[in-house]
């Protein structure tokens, strides 16, 4: 059983956890990302993934600031100029770049492309430790931070724990944080 100290542990290395980890590391924090699997490598001639995100101009600026936007564009992205959303017949919203006098609203990007670009930057950053494959077994509050037990028996002792592990967050559940759901 080994203890691995770090300032911040982020459970979940997807788009949100990866971007947060990279941003914190770029600000000088030591960060450990605990993730069950590394993203699959990007294959240029593969079929586009159906899981995509509409990345706004503000999100593009964030990704540029993190230094990963060029990698995203080097893989696959497509600009969008109009976006419509609706849930019911009377709940309909249209965003149009021309109406807003903008050249475009943002880019459609496959989630795995974003994850891969972030992961490459995380691997290269000296302030980031990637624990993969790894999963969380226990979370304990201590006087000086937290103690996380991983499934392999290792312990991580960060000052701060961030749950970026999705809608059914294990971190949230272990911390006893409730949710209000809408159906």
pLDDT digits (tens, 9 = 90+) for 94-119: 999 999 999 999 999 999 999 999 99
Q: For residue 111, tell me if it sits in a domain.
A: yes
Residue 183: pLDDT band (50, 70, 90) is: low
pLDDT above 90 (res 38)? yes
Q: So what's the pLDDT on residue 68?
A: 98
* Segment among 43-57, 125-139, 169-183 with least mean pLDDT: 169-183
> Does residue 180 lie within any of the structural domains?
no
Predicted structure pTM score? 0.90
CATH code of the domain covering residue 63? 3.50.50.60
- pLDDT surpasses 90 at 80: yes
| 14 is a domain residue | yes
pLDDT at 75: 97
Judged by phi (left if over 0) then psi (alpha if -120 to 50, else beta), residue 146 lies in: beta
135: confidence class by pLDDT, cuts 50, 70, 90: very high
Tokens of 14: 């997807």
- 89 Cβ neighbours under 8 A, 6+ residues apart: none
Give me the domain span that covers residue 67. 3-37+50-175
Kindly report which listed range (45-59, 87-101, 168-182) carries the lowest average pLDDT score.
168-182
Share of the chain above pLDDT 70, in %: 98
As a whole number of angstroms, the distance between CA 52 and CA 70 comes to 18
Backbone angles phi, psi at 97, to 5 degrees: -60, -40
Is residue 102 situated within a structural domain? yes
Identify whether 45 is part of a domain: no
Predicted pLDDT at 87: 85
Mean pLDDT of the region 77-96: 91
Which residue carries 């294990």 as its tokens?
Answer: 170
The tokens for 77 are 């992205």
| Count of positions (residues) in the chain | 183
Residue pair 67/95 in contact by the 8 Å Cβ criterion: no
Say if 21 falls within a structural domain: yes
Give the count of domains, the chain.
1
- Cβ atoms of 82 and 95 within 8 Å: the answer is yes
Q: What does the mean pLDDT of the chain come to?
A: 94
Query: What is d(CA 54, CA 111) in angstroms, rounded to the nearest whole number?
Result: 10
75 is a domain residue: yes
Residue 43 lies in a domain: no
d(CA 126, CA 53): 29
What is the structure's pLDDT at 178?
Answer: 86
């Amino acid at each position: 059983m080994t203890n691995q100290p770090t300032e911040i542990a982020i459970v979940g290395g997807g788009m949100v956890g990866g971007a947060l980890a990279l941003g914190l590391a770029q600000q000088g924090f030591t960060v450990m990302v605990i993730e069950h699997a590394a993203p699959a490598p990007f294959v240029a001639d593969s079929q586009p993934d159906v899981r995509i995100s509409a990345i706004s101009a503000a999100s593009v600026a964030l990704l540029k600031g993190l230094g990963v936007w060029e990698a995203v564009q080097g893989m696959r992205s497509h600009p969008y100029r109009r976006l419509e959303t609706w849930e019911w017949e009377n709940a309909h919203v249209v965003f149009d770049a021309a109406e807003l006098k903008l050249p475009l609203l943002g880019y459609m990007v496959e989630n795995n492309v974003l994850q891969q670009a972030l992961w490459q930057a995380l691997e290269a950053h000296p302030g980031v430790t990637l624990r993969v494959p790894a999963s969380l077994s226990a979370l304990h509050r201590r006087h000086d931070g937290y103690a996380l037990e991983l499934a392999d028996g290792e312990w991580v002792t960060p000052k701060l724990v961030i749950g970026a592990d999705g809608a059914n967050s294990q971190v949230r559940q272990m911390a006893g944080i409730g949710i209000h759901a809408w159906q």
